[in-house]
Structure 1
Amino acid sequence: MSKTASPFPEVRRVITGHTADAQPVLLRDEVTERVFVSPDHLNSVFNIYRTDQVPANNDGVQGEWKDVIADKPFGKDTLVSAEGAVVRVFDYAPGATSPMHRTESLDFGIIHSGTITLTLDDGVTKTLNKGDVIVQRGTIHSWKNESDEWTRMYWVVVGAKAVEVNGQVLGEQWPKP
């Protein structure tokens, strides 16, 4: 695995809303904090936005904003909003892997730079390249950056009911600690 930090720039988020007289306003224009998700401080995530309901609530005015920015610590308990959606950016170091897991969500991943290999529980693999989009529909899977270049992916994760196949509920699954 690479021993150098991500070459990608920090992620800037701009969030709009309204004033008390219903005029558009910029609520936030800021660089998001990079949160490290690996012990070596190489793989990282930027929490961009989170809403805990769909349809989202765009009500509220400047200073009384009701939605939630995804500034909570990153972890399996904050990866998905069961009734809403989360937007994040992941940077995967060369050689980085994720554990096999399943979330109760519908995930849309866009490969911005680099390549990433998806592995399903049955061993099937598919390599995704810059510009590709993955729609992850509650299957057990893992990710691996098999290249010697960094990979950046943009994710929109929408809460979903547990997958049910022929009466069998396939709920969330994470590796045992």
Structure 2
Amino acid sequence: MAQQPKNEGQLNDLPGTTTYLTGHDPSTGKAVVHETRPAKWTAYDNNDMAFNVVYTTKFPPDLNDDKDITAHDTLLSSAKLGLVNPGGSVCRQVDFAPGYECMMHRTQSLDFGIVLEGRIEMVLDSGAKQVLGRGDVAVQRATMHAWRNPSETEWARMIFVLQDCQRLRVGGRALGEDLGRGTDGLPPSGNDV
């Protein structure tokens, strides 16, 4: 199988990606591929990291009359999506340049981070570190963390599913979103006020 061509805004030679939205044929009720969408990447932190927002939802999603698709498209075109979608979820691909370590940050969310390409080191604010390989999953529970690509030559790619969560309290102190450096142009999520 041939590698998919690069996508709009992609910074590396990893395979391009496509999102396939399913739906139903109204006359038969059978499942169909409703729409295909090539990834659109947005670069951050001096082109060392890039995001592709695959899909967003509110809880629970309303799939009737494609209301979920309309809500997703409206949110993306508003330029108000932070890392987390308040009251919903975000599925996002993230590419990391060789040797790059992103900002130490925390989101008010429960996140599943899955390594798709390469290796990634998860760095926690306690100093703990864990290297993850292709197929490994990190479950981030509103912790301060960073991601580092330990390769000196190869890009790494992860996919994240972030779900809004209740306000976290540790030791009687409320913790909230902390975006750190390198996210110029990314608005706060607004789910921790």
TM-score (norm 1): 0.83
2:114 — aligned with what? 110
2:150 — aligned with what? 146
Q: Which runs of 5+ in 1 are unaligned?
A: none
2:137 — aligned with what? 133
Distance verdict in 2 for CA 1:102–1:67, change over 3 Å: same
Instruction: Give the 5 Å matches for 1:45-56.
Output: 45-51=51-57, 53-56=58-61
1:18 — aligned with what? 24
C-alpha separation between the residues in 1 aligned to 2:141 and 2:113?
11
Distance verdict in 2 for CA 1:169–1:17, change over 3 Å: same
2:187 — aligned with what? none
1:26 aligns to what SS in structure 2? strand
2:4 — aligned with what? none
Q: Which runs of 5+ in 2 are unaligned?
A: 1-10, 185-193
2:161 — aligned with what? 156
1:91 aligns to what SS in structure 2? strand
1:67 aligns to what SS in structure 2? helix
Segments of 4+ in structure 1 off by > 6 A?
Answer: none
C-alpha separation between the residues in 1 aligned to 2:36 and 2:87?
26
Q: CA deviation at 1:168?
A: 1.6
Aligned length: 169
TM-score (norm 2): 0.77
Q: CA deviation at 1:143?
A: 1.1
Aligned-pair identity (%): 32
